[in-house]
Chain A
Amino acid sequence: MINEEPISILRFISNYFDIIRELFITQKEERVIRRETFEIICSKYSAEGIKKTLFKYKIVKPLQDDYELRDVYFNLIEFILFEFRPLLPDEIEKYGVSIQELFRKIREGINSDKNILLDRIAALSEEVKKFSEAVDKNKIRLLSETRDLKANVKRIGYREKIQKASHWTEHYILPLNNILNVNHSESITNKLFDISEFANQQRLILEDETIRLQFEKLHRQLIQTNDDIRSNHKVFINELIPLIDRIRTESLVITGWIEFLKRPYKTVPPRLFKTDRITPISNKFYLNTKEYFENFQVVEDFYIEQEEGQEVRWIFNKSYYKSKLSSSLPVENFFVWCRDSLELEGDITNEKLLALTTLLFEEDIQITESNEFDEIEIQTQSSSFIVPKIQIVKNGI
């Protein structure tokens, strides 16, 4: 068991992918990674320290004195790089045997033990998947080989080219074509059609729902597989089988295009003029115009103001009110005068009224005696004052 976070392993593969790729290529060519080669590759990338991690993450395993990438990593790198080993038709035919055998047992044991039947359906599904993947990988590899032969970048002679094409055709393309050919009675494709038909019937007639569902899944998988095989077979008929005829002619232009199509997004194409013109119906027009205008827009400073201006605090200006009082003398009723004066300037508050009352204590103010029954009421914003009538006359008068 690996006691590491899966993401750490993936990050390690990503960081040291160059080394892992080189180990993969070595193993692909020599089937094992010799101890000396392993040391050279690790030291070439100044990554002596990663050797331990390669073992810790179980990416590389020792094989007596040498090493090899574990299958799961080998297959992963093979898939990422699209560098598939061409499979011999015999390697693919073995799936036909296992598929046929499992199908026979499923058919014969359709009414026997339910669990073993379910296991066999799952196993059959797995074998079909492997077969389909093997065909797909082989097609990719054969296309790559034959395109290289057509491009002939290595400039091999005509005779050698035909020999190679014959080799591919005889040992790989034609036998694989027989496996895929639906008109060939012994082809695996034909067997898959039989199984698909059987699964289709069983998914409708069986009583057990679990088994019915499994046949339903198998049937759907086989429909997809048959479609894939049909499209792969088309490639065999149109492109791979006529290989020998196709490589008779050679063209520099086709060589260039084949090289380009290998890495179309990594090759710099011919330069074409890029126009900046934008029409009013372009979807960029609105934003570009907006951006243009915004460049010339004068932005003024702005302030955030509270909606209600701050209340100016009332300050008792004694001399002002004193002189006002003096000019109004004699005053019949001091508090009425206070009320009238304050009313003219705004609201009457307790604070204002009491502040004005302090005028009564001024030295030059003379208060006359008041009648105790003569009272008035002064209303402020928050209170009501019952105050006596006070007369004021000028000092000394």
Chain B
Amino acid sequence: MEFENPKYHQQIVEDLMNGKFILSKEIHFEDVKENRDFYEKFFRHSFGYEFIFKPDYAYIISSETNENLSRDICIFIAILCYELDKAGINFLDKIEFGDFSLEEIDKYFENSSFVDLIKGNNSIKDYDSRRKLIRTMTTKNITEKNSEDRFSFTPVYKVFIDFAKELAESSKESETINQGE
């Protein structure tokens, strides 16, 4: 019996199993898109993982999650958005279309009023740790390197922005319930 599989099957599985997001601009994304149902079943039956497909990216998640990395990325993006907004910049436009220099990132973090939180987090506490976090995000396709000292966010940023929106909605809902009581 011959096992029929998509053309870039090996690369797709390898990337996803390495915790990488597959982006729509990547050559194997088309394969993923055409075989969504196959991959959904493949990862569920083979490993018990959940396969998530979005128009801009695809990734897998399991019951065991990399919570620390996810939290550090959230803190990083949250402070960045807050500081951009404070500086009067449209933070969503900047994240979606713009790019950042490492120097600019340092300036935002060094002047942030979330100083206690920054100093207490090993992934963002200083110049080197922030670079390491950005490198890690690049290996996962959350950010991409544009030059030696510049990077930009890929559409994967939406995972984190959606998380913030959901959090805001639930906070507002619980506040409304409290007021109602």
B71 adjacent to chain A (CB < 8 Å) = yes
The answer for the CA separation of A245 and B49 in the assembled complex, in Å, is 46
Query: Which of B74, B88, B161, B175 contacts A154, CB < 8 Å?
Result: B175
Chain B residues within 8 Å of A143, by CB = 113
The answer for the CA separation of A239 and B75 in the assembled complex, in Å, is 19
Residues A273 and B163 in contact, CB atoms below 8 Å apart: no
Residues A273 and B168 in contact, CB atoms below 8 Å apart: no
Residues A234 and B17 in contact, CB atoms below 8 Å apart: no
Residues B61 and A271 in contact, CB atoms below 8 Å apart: yes
B111 adjacent to chain A (CB < 8 Å) = yes
B105 adjacent to chain A (CB < 8 Å) = no
Query: Which of B67, B71, B175 contacts A153, CB < 8 Å?
Result: B175
B172 adjacent to chain A (CB < 8 Å) = yes
State which residues 78-124 of B face A: CB under 8 Å: 78-79, 81-82, 85-86, 88, 91-92, 111, 113-115, 117
A235 adjacent to chain B (CB < 8 Å) = yes
* Given the contacts A246-B85, A261-B114, A275-B17, A270 and B168 also touching, CB distance less than 8 Å: no
* Given the contacts A264-B117, A269-B74, A256 and B164 also touching, CB distance less than 8 Å: yes
Query: Which of B75, B82, B85, B175 contacts A264, CB < 8 Å?
Result: B75
Residues A275 and B113 in contact, CB atoms below 8 Å apart: no
Query: Which of A234, A254, A264 contacts B74, CB < 8 Å?
Result: A264
The answer for the CA separation of A267 and B167 in the assembled complex, in Å, is 9
Chain B residues within 8 Å of A286, by CB = none
Query: Which of B64, B71, B171 contacts A265, CB < 8 Å?
Result: B71
State which residues 220-266 of A face B: CB under 8 Å: 231, 234-235, 238-239, 242, 245-246, 249, 251-261, 264-265
Residues A274 and B167 in contact, CB atoms below 8 Å apart: no
The answer for the CA separation of A256 and B168 in the assembled complex, in Å, is 4
Most B-side CB within 10 Å, residue of A143, A267, A272: A272
Residues A254 and B70 in contact, CB atoms below 8 Å apart: no
* Given the contacts A153-B171, A253-B168, A269 and B163 also touching, CB distance less than 8 Å: yes
Nearest residue in A to B115 (C-beta to C-beta)? Answer: A231
B56 adjacent to chain A (CB < 8 Å) = no
Chain B residues within 8 Å of A251, by CB = 85, 91-92
Nearest residue in B to A261 (C-beta to C-beta)? Answer: B78
The answer for the CA separation of A154 and B176 in the assembled complex, in Å, is 7
B159 adjacent to chain A (CB < 8 Å) = yes
Most A-side CB within 10 Å, residue of B73, B113, B115, B175: B113
Query: Which of A155, A238, A277 contacts B18, CB < 8 Å?
Result: A277
Nearest residue in A to B95 (C-beta to C-beta)? Answer: A253
Q: Size class of A's contact patch?
A: 35 or more
Nearest residue in A to B50 (C-beta to C-beta)? Answer: A271
The answer for the CA separation of A246 and B75 in the assembled complex, in Å, is 21
Residues B78 and A257 in contact, CB atoms below 8 Å apart: yes
Interface string of B49-63 (1 = CB under 8 A from A): 100000000011110
Query: Which of A256, A259, A273 contacts B65, CB < 8 Å?
Result: A273
B11 adjacent to chain A (CB < 8 Å) = no
Query: Which of B61, B92, B165 contacts A272, CB < 8 Å?
Result: B61
- B129 → chain A closest CB, angstroms: 16
The answer for the CA separation of A251 and B93 in the assembled complex, in Å, is 13
Nearest residue in B to A251 (C-beta to C-beta)? Answer: B85
Nearest residue in B to A257 (C-beta to C-beta)? Answer: B78
The answer for the CA separation of A151 and B140 in the assembled complex, in Å, is 30
State which residues 24-56 of B face A: CB under 8 Å: 49
The answer for the CA separation of A302 and B53 in the assembled complex, in Å, is 58
Query: Which of B60, B92, B176 contacts A155, CB < 8 Å?
Result: B176
Residues A272 and B66 in contact, CB atoms below 8 Å apart: yes
- B133 → chain A closest CB, angstroms: 13
Nearest residue in B to A277 (C-beta to C-beta)? Answer: B18
The answer for the CA separation of A20 and B59 in the assembled complex, in Å, is 47
Chain B residues within 8 Å of A231, by CB = 115
Residues B65 and A260 in contact, CB atoms below 8 Å apart: no
* Given the contacts A253-B81, A256-B167, A256-B168, A261 and B75 also touching, CB distance less than 8 Å: yes
State which residues 4-24 of B face A: CB under 8 Å: 16-19
Chain A residues within 8 Å of B74, by CB = 260, 264, 269-270
A-B contact list, 9 entries, CB within 8 Å: A155-B172, A239-B113, A252-B165, A255-B172, A256-B168, A260-B167, A270-B160, A273-B61, A274-B19
| Interface positions of A (Cβ within 8 A of B) | 143, 151, 153-155, 231, 234-235, 238-239, 242, 245-246, 249, 251-261, 264-265, 267-275, 277
6 further A-B contacts with Cβ under 8 Å, apart from A251-B85, A270-B70, A273-B65, are A234-B111, A245-B88, A257-B78, A259-B168, A270-B74, A271-B70
Q: Which 4 A-B pairs have the closest CB atoms?
A: A256-B164, A256-B168, A257-B78, A255-B168
